[in-house]
Amino acid sequence: MNRYASPLGFGLRLRLMLTLTAVAIFPIACVSYVIVRDEVRNVTRTIDFEVRNAALAAQARFARLLDQRELQAVAAASSPSLRRAIRLNETNRLEQFATRNEVLLEIDGRQYGRHLANAVTAPVQLVSGGRDVGSVVAQLPVDETTLQRVTPATDNGVRLAFVSRDSPEPGGTRSATLPLGGTVGIRAYLPRDIESSRTHDAYMRVAEAGLLALLALMLLTFVLARPLLRTFRWTEEQASEARIDALTGLANRRAFEEVLAAEISRAQRFEHQLAIVLLDLDRFKQINDSFGHAAGDVMLRSVSHLLTSLARQGDTVARWGGEEFVAVLPETDLPGARRFAERLRRTIEAHPVGEMRTTASCGVATMLPVDTVEALLAAADQALYEAKSNGRNRTETAIRTSSSAVA
């Protein structure tokens, strides 16, 4: 064997490896950059979710506390001693009654009891002798004690504060403000130092992982890098196309069912409310017959834009098929879902597309604790059928019990 062959072969292999590595650096670095960017974006989305979830939990707890105060006010309004004091115009007894029951009485233009300047109120009508004489006002103070009672027992660094609903969001801080009553809102926010720490940790984790992956790919997989990247991009595009309706750009039925299954699981786990709205355009076939299918497609795209503009952040709107659309509404009770459906219906009715006009029928259903995807959709579909049967251009709600969901 030629003793010079081995050093020469090693040199060729080394130069080839360095050449291939130099060519591989740019595409691999681009992929690493995309991964780093997406990871940091995921951290930001997680922070936004935690902040909004904390605000929603605090809002729900505050509403329950106010409901308790309102129930106390209702009980006070039906008290025989209060009615007797009103009938006899015993102002001292009225004052004592208001103080003892921690309510504010407003009777014939006069107030009895302590008026809390910083509180959310819930008035209960007071009737005596067949006439409206005033109200019993439940008051929930907006103070540190109430804030502690509505603060969820979590340790993720999110802070809560009562603020004016018109006050601007603090700059440089991830926050979410939700209304409570009057001009008062609850704001959940993550302090800057915690947000910066999480973002920095995400950068470091991804940077370390990306560097190791880059070194491994440069040394081992240059030949496969380009076809692998091409395959990855093709797979990603195919997955995206499989989940999006080509005509409207909304989520398609398959994607919606996946989202709904995940939202049902989350609602059951955290005992949150969940609602869906199934919407069908009325007499859509007449539009196709009168203006053509191309015009019908324009109408469907216009309706999809209206639905997207009216949906909240966190809601999911999808094309269910044909001229049917569906929306999943997390953290929404039946009255709230019905208001949303009515807003959709009125907006569609008020926005013609050229000479084309249409209306919509809506079916609304809320999740029961034992619901499945099929059961919840079936309830909304039945409500939609009733809306169609009752004359179209209306909203019907599914009245359900746990036994009906099991059946």
pLDDT at 403 over 70: no
pLDDT at 341 over 90: yes
pLDDT value of position 295: 92
Token output for 317:
């709107």
pLDDT value of position 375: 93
Q: In the 8-state DSSP scheme, what is residue 319?
A: E
246 within domain boundaries: no
224 within domain boundaries: yes
Give the strand pairing for 395-397 and 324-330: unpaired
Token output for 301:
């795209």
Euclidean distance between CA atoms 137 and 101, whole angstroms:
11
If asked whether residues 336 and 287 sit together in one domain, one would say yes
1 within domain boundaries: no
Query: Contact, 337 vs 275, CB < 8 A?
Result: yes
Helices 293-310 and 334-350: angle between axes, nearest 10 degrees? 140
Query: Contact, 188 vs 51, CB < 8 A?
Result: yes
If asked whether residues 44 and 167 sit together in one domain, one would say yes
Helix runs in 78-153, H state only: 80-88, 91-100, 144-150
Amino acid at 113: G
Within 8 A by CB and 6+ apart from 115, the residues are: 104, 139
| Longest Cα separation, the chain | 124
pLDDT value of position 78: 84
| Model confidence band, residue 193 (pLDDT cutoffs 50, 70, 90) | confident
**pTM of this prediction?**
0.44
Token output for 1:
């064997």
> How confident is the model over 354-388, as pLDDT tens digits?
889 999 999 999 999 889 999 999 999 999 999 99
Coil vs helix vs strand at 277: strand
Provide the domain count of the chain.
2
CATH number, domain with residue 344: 3.30.70.270
If you search the block for the tokens 């059951």, which residue do you land on? 268
If asked whether residues 72 and 168 sit together in one domain, one would say yes
Select from 241, 271, 295 the last residue of a domain: 241
pLDDT value of position 3: 38
pLDDT value of position 172: 58
If asked whether residues 178 and 266 sit together in one domain, one would say no
If asked whether residues 160 and 183 sit together in one domain, one would say yes
If asked whether residues 30 and 167 sit together in one domain, one would say yes
Euclidean distance between CA atoms 313 and 306, whole angstroms:
14
5 within domain boundaries: no
3 within domain boundaries: no
If asked whether residues 207 and 272 sit together in one domain, one would say no
Please name every residue paired with 162 in a beta bridge, in sequence order, or none if there are none: 186
331 within domain boundaries: yes
pLDDT value of position 136: 87
Token output for 279:
């919407």
If asked whether residues 352 and 227 sit together in one domain, one would say no
Mean pLDDT over residues 317-342, rounded? 94
Is the model more confident about 313 or about 167? 313
Token output for 72:
């106390």
Euclidean distance between CA atoms 352 and 149, whole angstroms:
49
Within 8 A by CB and 6+ apart from 7, the residues are: none
| Model confidence band, residue 399 (pLDDT cutoffs 50, 70, 90) | confident
247 within domain boundaries: no
pLDDT value of position 102: 82
Catalytic residue list contains 323: yes
pLDDT value of position 230: 56
> How confident is the model over 219-277, as pLDDT tens digits?
665 554 455 445 555 555 555 556 888 899 899 988 999 999 999 999 999 999 999 99
20 within domain boundaries: yes
If asked whether residues 46 and 113 sit together in one domain, one would say yes
Select from 184, 216, 241 the last residue of a domain: 241
Token output for 188:
């959940």
If asked whether residues 84 and 169 sit together in one domain, one would say yes
Structural domain harbouring 351:
253-406
Out of 263, 323, 331, 396, pick the active-site residue: 323
Euclidean distance between CA atoms 28 and 249, whole angstroms:
31
If asked whether residues 198 and 259 sit together in one domain, one would say no
The C-alpha R_g of the chain, in whole angstroms, comes to: 30
If asked whether residues 216 and 262 sit together in one domain, one would say no
Token output for 189:
């926010």
Select from 188, 208, 241 the last residue of a domain: 241
